[in-house]
């Protein structure tokens, strides 16, 4: 039994793809109300935006709830607004919604509970008539190396959908640090385990970000429980687990 648990933990860390700048894991738990969230998002120093306080719904633009005076309806005092593309700002195109509307947005699905998210979440774009790329930017107001989100009905990155996250330092439109596309070559399936995950994104080599731009040119990029943090990159933890696994196998052979 102990050996099975160890193998399961290792797989949770190595199942996600990596790039030169970052790597991803799927390490989720039930956050209540059928939503997914990660232990990394709940670590000390992490901040989480649930969108749960926003009313009435649907509500747009997201920036209308910027909490500059401490009285906004968002959990965090991040600054939401325009996106950024090829050296130029782009209009904000997103909203906060609840439930699902066919052809417009679908509540992220939890494979742990077998149900869709019951709480408010962000959906990008709000409409497909605005100029592309259709984006929403957010400035987190600090430097972070971890980004987490319950990513719903993932769509592939191609010329039609172009669903991605750009991370910047120096504010939206500053220095591009990393570009994250769907960790699954999905087809937007509403109720599939592989296309609905809590995704953990860790920057490597000392890189940090202070802002992000979320993009989807077609309906829709849905996400909930958006988190940022400075939790340690778990690469050393992975090596430790692998070492323990190897030691356990050697011990099993000796006895």
What's the whole-model pTM score?
0.84
pLDDT given at position 96: 97
pLDDT given at position 130: 86
pLDDT given at position 140: 97
Q: Is 123 exposed, middle or buried (0-12, 13-18, 19+ CB in 10 A)?
A: buried
All structural domains of the chain: 22-232 (2.60.120)
- β-bridge pairing 115-116 and 109-110: antiparallel
Q: Which residues pair with 135 in a beta bridge?
A: 92, 215
Residue 52: Cβ within 10 Å count: 18
Show the DSSP H helices in the chain as ranges: 2-14, 235-254
pLDDT given at position 187: 67
Beta carbons of 223 and 107 less than 8 angstroms apart: no
Q: What are 242's two structure tokens?
A: 């692998």
Q: How many CA atoms lie within 13 Å of 19's alpha carbon, on the beta-carbon side?
A: 13
102: left (phi over 0), alpha (psi -120 to 50) or beta: beta
Q: Which helix (H) or strand (E) holds 97?
A: strand 95-97
CA–CA dist 213, 101 (Å, integer): 24
Q: Say if residue 207 is preceded by a cis peptide, omega within 30 of 0.
A: no
CA–CA dist 147, 125 (Å, integer): 20
pLDDT given at position 241: 34
CA–CA dist 109, 150 (Å, integer): 9
Beta carbons of 148 and 202 less than 8 angstroms apart: no
Beta carbons of 197 and 109 less than 8 angstroms apart: no
- Per-residue pLDDT 10s for the chain (255 aa) are 322 222 222 233 334 445 557 778 888 899 888 999 999 999 999 999 999 999 899 999 999 998 765 567 899 999 999 999 888 999 999 999 999 999 999 999 998 999 999 999 999 999 999 889 999 999 999 999 999 999 998 887 776 777 899 999 999 999 999 999 887 666 667 777 888 999 999 999 899 999 999 999 999 999 999 999 998 776 544 443 334 333 333 323 333
- Roughly what angle, to the nearest 10 degrees, separates helices 2-14 and 235-254? 150
């Amino acid at each position: 039994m102990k050996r099975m648990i160890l193998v399961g933990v290792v797989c949770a860390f190595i199942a996600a793809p990596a790039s030169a700048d970052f790597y991803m894991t799927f390490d989720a738990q039930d956050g209540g109300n059928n939503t997914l969230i990660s232990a990394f998002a709940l670590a000390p120093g992490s901040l989480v935006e649930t969108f749960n306080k926003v009313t009435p719904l649907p509500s747009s633009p997201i920036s209308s709830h910027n909490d500059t005076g401490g009285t906004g309806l968002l959990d965090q005092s991040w600054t939401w607004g325009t996106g950024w593309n090829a050296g130029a700002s782009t209009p904000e195109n997103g909203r906060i919604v609840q439930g699902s509307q066919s052809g417009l947005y679908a509540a992220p699905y939890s494979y742990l509970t077998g149900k869709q998210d019951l709480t408010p979440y962000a959906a990008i774009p709000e409409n497909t008539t605005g100029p592309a790329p259709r984006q929403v930017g957010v400035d987190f107001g600090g430097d972070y190396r971890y980004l987490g989100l319950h990513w719903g009905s993932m769509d592939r990155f191609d010329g039609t959908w172009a669903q991605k996250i750009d991370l910047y330092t120096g504010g939206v439109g500053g220095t591009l640090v990393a570009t994250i596309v769907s960790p699954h070559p999905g087809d937007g399936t509403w109720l599939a385990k592989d296309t609905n995950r809590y995704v953990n994104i860790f920057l490597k080599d000392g890189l940090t970000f202070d802002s992000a731009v979320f993009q989807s040119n077609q309906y829709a990029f849905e996400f909930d429980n958006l988190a940022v943090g400075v939790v340690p990159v778990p690469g050393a933890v992975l090596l430790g687990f692998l070492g323990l696994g190897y030691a356990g196998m050697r011990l099993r052979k000796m006895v």
